[in-house]
Amino acid sequence: MVKTKQAKQPLKVARRRSKIHGNGVFALVPFRKGQRIIEYTGPLISHEQADEEYSGDIESGHTFLFTLNEDWVIDANRGNHVAKWINTGCEPNAVAYVHSERKKKPDPKKDRVWIEALRSIKPGEEIIYDYGFDFEVKYTPKLLRTWACRCGSPKCTGTMLKGKKVKEVMRKHPNWQKGR
Kindly state the DSSP code that residue 50 receives in the 8-state scheme.
H
Which residues does 52 contact at the CB level (< 8 Å), separation at least 6? none
Give the separation between CA 80 and CA 171, rounded to whole angstroms.
40
- Report the length, in residues, of the chain: 180
Span 20-68, pLDDT tens digits: 988 999 999 999 999 999 999 999 999 889 888 886 566 666 678 888 8
Task: Name the phi and psi angles at 90, rounded to 5.
Answer: -85, -10
Each domain of the chain, given as residue ranges in start order, spans: 1-131, 132-180
Instruction: Tell me the CATH number for domain 1-131.
Output: 2.170.270.10
pLDDT for the residue numbered 27: 97
pLDDT tens digits along 6-27:
556 568 999 999 999 889 999 9
Would you give the distance in Å from CA 80 to the centre of its chain?
Answer: 16
pLDDT of residue 117: 97
Cβ within 8 Å of residue 56, ≥6 positions away: none
Question: What is the spatial distance between Cα 14 and Cα 26, in angstroms, rounded to a whole number?
Answer: 5
